Amino acid sequence: MPLPFKHLTSTKQLSREDTDSILEVCEKMEKVRSKGGSNLLEGKILANLFYEPSTRTNLSFATAMHRLEGKVITAVGMQFSSMYKGETIEDTMNVVGQYADIIAMRHPEKGSADIAASACPVPFINAGDGPNQHPTQGLLDILTIKKERGKLDGIHLTAVGDLKFGRTIHSVSFLLGLYDNVKFTLVSPKELPMPEKVTSFFKEKGIEYNETENLEDGLNADVIYMTRVQEERFENKDDFERLKLKYILKPEHVKDRDITVMHPLPRIGEIDTRVDELPNAAYFREVNNGVTLRMALLAMLLDKA
């Protein structure tokens, strides 16, 4: 089940049909994982290029490739790459594309994924380009919502925290917006609102959304998606210190509600650790779904699904 494109740089390039196809392959990959893996990608090589810090995404891609008997080569840290010497993204792609069959890259600059894909001779996956997009996180979040709530149509999602720089919530918003009768509540300080690129998409699609600064206004949703305030995106550190823990989700907020708690992680205090014990805390299950999703994408982009 191949995808109708060679590279994945943004969730905006996905249709509902594409997304449903990916979720269908995820079901197959869950069965593969339950058996310990398969040799589906034996002989294939993934290059993981991570020029910005990552734990989950980097290891998740590597785990996914290993589960399918592929191999992984890595480059971690801008200071250890030829980009540090001034090499362009395009040249890096042309070089690494001679070594690997598929490339996943995280880069701190917005738009870097599109530049990379334009020059990449092999399939390319955006693993996060600055504050812009994180399509594989968005897809694994959609997978998580479907598994936790049993549906995607009719979902009410509350997004909380740093909605301005939070590339994960941008990605999941575009994807969930492909489904019918969805609704969003956007909870953020006035300094960190959801950007116009997302709210204009909501308006274009006729999607209902409400913006508020009060966490309590968003607790009657199906899903509450917490995000950290990202220190690395702030020029003024005083602003970060003032805003970093404006919202803290506590057990009393959710323990008696039918609401699924999600977070792309890492957290820096915006979810009280006591919430971890509640059955509606889904963020560690969310991490597990990331391996399944990336197995599906690797197989589909390499025409092996």
Query: Could you give the residue numbers annotated as active site?
Result: 56-57, 85, 106, 134
The answer to whether residues 294 and 123 touch, using CB atoms and an 8 Å cutoff, is no
Q: What is the 3-state secondary structure (H, E, C) of 181-203?
A: CCEEEEECCCCCCCCHHHHHHHH
Q: How far apart are CA 174 and CA 177, in angstroms?
A: 5
H/E stretch holding 67: helix 56-67
Reply yes or no: is the peptide bond before residue 264 cis, omega within 30 of 0. Answer: no
Q: How far apart are CA 197 and CA 120, in angstroms?
A: 26
Torsion of CA 244, 267, 296, 134, to 10 degrees: 10
